[in-house]
Every structure is written in C-alpha cells, then in structure tokens.
Amino acid sequence: MANRMKRVAILGSTGSIGTNTLDVIAAQPDRLRVVGLAARSRIDLLQQQIQQYQPQLVAVLDEEKAATLRAQRTGAVEVVAGVEGLIRLATHPDVDVVVVGTAGREALVPVLRAIEAGKQIALASKELLVMAGEILLQAVRDHHATLIPVDSEHAALFQALQGVAREEVERLIITGSGGPLWSVPGTLDTVTRAQVLHHPKWIMGPKITVDSATLMNKGLELIEARWLFDMPVERIRIIIHPQAVVHGMVELKDGSCLAHLSPCDMRLPIQYALSFPERWTTPWPRVNWTTLDGLQFFEPDLERFPCLRLAMDAAAVGGTAPVVLSAANETVVQAFLREEASFADIPRVIRGVLAQHHPVAHPSLETILQVDEWARGVAQDILEATVHVAVNEENVVRS
C-alpha cells in the first residue's frame, strides 16, 4: 500500500482512540481517507464526524440510535446497525485498514471477520486479545493479514522488535506510569471517582483510566503481549516508570536493551499503525531532552494494587481465565463509574468471579463468548449481593 491512499474504517470513532485517529487522518489528507465510522451510541459527535469526513458507511451498535441517525441523515452516507453493521463496515471491500478503538466484546466477531478478509488491523483494544488472542493471531497467520498494535506499550515493543531475530530476545519489558494513584499515600480503598479519573500523563476514556488506577491495564497488557509477540508470560516483565517517556523495552540475550521513547501522545502509535511499514513526518511535539529531570523505574506493588496480581495469575493459568478476568473487570469498573461500587470492590469482585471459574484450555469462539457472558452475570450477582448486605447493615444500625 506504499505511495497510495489508504482507506480507513474506525470502530469506536467517538472515543479517545477514534478522535485521535481522525486527528491523524486530518494531518495526512494525501495519504489517508475515511471510508467508514462506527460508534456505540454517541450520534451527536458522530454527526459532526460524518459532516467533516464524509464516510461511505456508518455503523451504530445501538439500533435505536442507528434509526435516529438514519432519520436525521441526508446524502450518500449509509447507516447500518448492530454487530452485523460492524461486520459489514470492518469487511467493506473499500477498506484497507480497520482501526479498532472499541473495548466492547461486540467488536470481537467483526475484527475476526476483518482479519479473515485480509484487512490490516490497527488494534487499540486490549480486551479482544485478552479474550481471544489465540484465535485472532491464528486467523492473522491463516489469512496473511497484518495486525499492528496501537497501545503505546505494544506499539513500542513492536517497533523495537523490528529487525530483531526472536531467538535473540531474552525478555520484553512493559512500562507503566503507575496511573493516578501510584503516589497517593495511605490506603486506596476509599479513593474517589474524581481521583481515579485524574490521570497524570494520558488523556484516555474512563474505563481505561480506571484500569490504569488499579494497574489492571498492565495485567491486560501482559496477556496482550503474550499473544502479539508469541512470548511466554514468564518472559514479560512489568515496570513502573512515572515519567512515561520509555514505553517499552526489549532485553536481548547479550545483555543489550532496546528502548522506545516518545512523548505521551496516542497520535504517534496510531499514525505508525496506519503508515506501517513506512514512517511519515508528523507536526506533533517531540521529547524535550533538556527538560527531562531523570528517568525512574520501580517494581509494581502487588499488595497495594491486587488487580495486577489477579491478572498475572490469570495469565499464568491461561485458557478462559483471562476471559473471566476481563469480563468481571469491565462489569465492576462500569459499576464504579456509575458510583454503584467502591474502588475496593474492583479486585474483590474480580477475585470472587475467578474463584468460581473452571478454566477451559484452547477455547472456541463460542466458548469464549459463553464464558464472557457467564462472568459478567456472576460479577453482577456479587455486586448486587454487596448492595443487599450494605442496605441490611444500614437498617440494623438505624433500628
């Protein structure tokens, strides 16, 4: 696809990854063109994106919102709905690259179908590889598709590994800023939603920001890296790096280490995924080396951040354990964002769901979706039981 226009579809165009992708496309009008956009329900912003980028096809997961958008639209754009709409967009014959910016499980089958159609996939969703990494990467190999990671850490590792023979790699190192709570003193059980959503380095969606606060995001990234780079989990290390300048490192067997450094700007890994195997000039800020006050690295505190330990344990078990981990986490995080669960409830609920699960090795797609649904249901049951106990205790105190 060198030296020709690349045609792009974005799953999750109204989210953080989607809007950053559109910034990249706007900065590269001679190289990139929007063919399709997809969103869950935010049709107000989607309307603006349609007006600016003039896609051929738009998919809205929420069928009622799709009908509303369809009634409002005039002109040539076609509006489709539901998972079938996402599949149609992801496999559209005019699409070269599918940017996957939605974390929802609804994107799993559309992304699999896009891989089977031979599309280049720019993947920002950790959850899809956590759920079905074995199936997706096998499909990439079977259909000679290309999958480029957009997560800053995996994009860093992907770039550092270019031209490096696999047998020369001793270990992969995933860095993390530590999130909004790394430097907060004392217990974290009672931290507020506002504290959790105030990330010191990155501007991200609320779900991933909560995952950053619990360090669950590092655990999900460990599982993601295991599949992306065909690396055993015991050879992948998590390191806290508060300055967030080094995004990933590759340790080689001779003791050398290759590090990828860049500003905290998601447009950089997004553009690389779109330009691959080329590199394009960008108008965005560079690292200011003279203002760096030093680079620090720490071991993660697994006692203070138990979600990372839960993720590491699930990664070691494999099979459907990561499916349960991700589904339970998403369920309780959404409850936390609605202020229906406390910060301490997040690891407690995940641990409770994992304790009830009997992992299945090498699961089929059908099994993965069934286990995902089961885990969400159990997580919700645990949350509701918590609320019931809390209400009863409050009634006892009042009496």
* pLDDT value of position 190: 83
Q: Is residue 310 part of a domain?
A: no
Query: How much is the pLDDT for 387?
Result: 66
- pLDDT above 70 for 74: no
- We report the CATH number of the domain holding residue 390 as 1.10.1740.10
Q: Is 318 exposed, middle or buried (0-12, 13-18, 19+ CB in 10 A)?
A: middle
pLDDT at 399 over 70: no
The predicted structure's pLDDT at residue 73: 73
- Is there a domain that residue 42 lies in? yes
**pLDDT surpassing 80 at residue 397:** no
How many percent of the chain have pLDDT more than 70? 95
Where does a domain end: 125, 150, 175?
150
Same domain, 258 and 370: no
What confidence category does residue 395 fall into, taking pLDDT thresholds of 50, 70 and 90?
Answer: very low
Q: Are residues 146 and 157 in the same domain?
A: no
Flag whether 216 is in a domain: yes
Residue 272 placed within a domain:
no
Are 232 and 328 contained in the same domain? no
B/e letters for 375-396, b = 16+ CB within 10 Å, e = fewer, are: bbebbbebbeebeeeeeeeeee
**Average pLDDT of the residues in 377-389:** 86
Determine contact, residues 90/11, Cβ cutoff 8 Å: yes
pLDDT tens, 188-237?
Answer: 888 888 888 888 777 778 888 999 999 999 999 999 999 999 999 999 99
- Give me the domain span that covers residue 354: 318-399
Q: Are residues 57 and 161 in the same domain?
A: no
* 1: confidence class by pLDDT, cuts 50, 70, 90: very low
Condensed to tens digits (0 to 9), the pLDDT of residues 14-44 reads 999 999 999 999 999 999 999 999 999 899 9
Q: How many domains does the chain have?
A: 3
382: pLDDT strictly greater than 80? yes
pLDDT of res. 189: 85
Q: Are strands 120-123 and 97-100 parallel, antiparallel or unpaired?
A: parallel
Say if 312 falls within a structural domain. no
The pLDDT of residue 349 is above 70: yes
Among 150, 185, 215, give the residue marking a domain's end: 150
